[in-house]
Amino acid sequence: MARLSDDFCVAAAVNDREILAACLARSPDILSGRLKLMTYEGYSSAAAALNAGLDGSTAPFVILAHQDVYLPRPWLDNLIAQIEQIERKHENWGVLGLFGRKITGEWIGRVWSSGLGHEAGEGGFSPAEAATVDELLLVVRRASGLRFDENLPGFHLYGTDIVTEGRARGIPSFVIDAPVVHNSKPVKTLKGAYAQAYRYMQRKWRKRLPVPTLICDIEPHPIALWRAQLQSMKIYRRNVARPRRDAVEIAKALNYE
Ligand SMILES: [Mn+2]
């Protein structure tokens, strides 16, 4: 089925308008008006902001992107081609991500991550069913009925949660080959808010553990989280001094556009 740009919109939870202006709002598909951008400020959790994003339009596909993501030209066309490929086999899909882990556990995807200081993964793959996806950008198919769990506190693990929710209901999610620039800052700490979300996920999905994530699997025992907390401190120290580069320059240097 042919897709029109009216079938899509972009929603973002925003807490820094300067970063929004330097990244997501500069994306050619948004500047040209092909993709409408809606922003949500002041929400107490990602789930609350992103459900507001789902409710803010009637578009069949809602692109939920971080404010620090730049969509290189012609990103929407890439997305449409990937959806058409998936729908040849799976009409009833739930969520798409750009980086994640397959249901077999392997990592898949391709994105630039400024927080890591390098490109993660490589391109040239077919859409792969996902067990977890990175939250930098999620595409939700409205007709799947999937929504974000507003009991999940804070701004972490909501991608893993909605993908797991889909799997529990027999609605598959996928990682697609549609690279973007994630002009992120390194994660400062996996204590506090991250650990709180992790504990919520441990309780919610106790019958399905371990649930894979991109940072550390959700397991009954907290040792995986403790290890990841140590590791993230090292990555943070290594990358924190790096200045934020220009998103468009990064996209050009990587041949994303
Ligand atoms: Mn981000």
Domain ranges of the chain: 5-253
Residue 219 DSSP one-character state: -
pLDDT tens profile 5-58: 789 999 999 999 999 999 999 999 999 999 999 999 999 999 999 999 999 999
As residues whose CB is below 5 A from the ion ligand 1, the structure lists: 66, 68, 184
How many angstroms separate the alpha carbon of residue 6 from the centre of ligand 1? 25
pTM of the model: 0.95
CA dihedral 25, 61, 44, 14 (to 10 degrees): 0
**Which residues fall within 8 angstroms of residue 86, CB to CB, at 6 or more apart?**
93, 96, 127, 174, 176
How many angstroms separate the alpha carbon of residue 34 from the centre of ligand 1? 23
Q: Domain spanning 5-253: which CATH class is it, in words? A: alpha beta
Distance of CA 9 to the CA centre of its chain: 15
How many angstroms separate the alpha carbon of residue 1 from the centre of ligand 1? 32
How many angstroms separate the alpha carbon of residue 66 from the centre of ligand 1? 5
Alpha helices (runs of H) in the chain, residue ranges in sequence order: 17-22, 28-31, 46-55, 75-87, 158-168, 193-204, 223-239, 247-253
3-state secondary structure of 111: strand
Q: What are phi and psi of 91, to 5 degrees?
A: -75, -40
Confidence of residue 2 (pLDDT cuts 50, 70, 90): low
How many angstroms separate the alpha carbon of residue 156 from the centre of ligand 1? 11
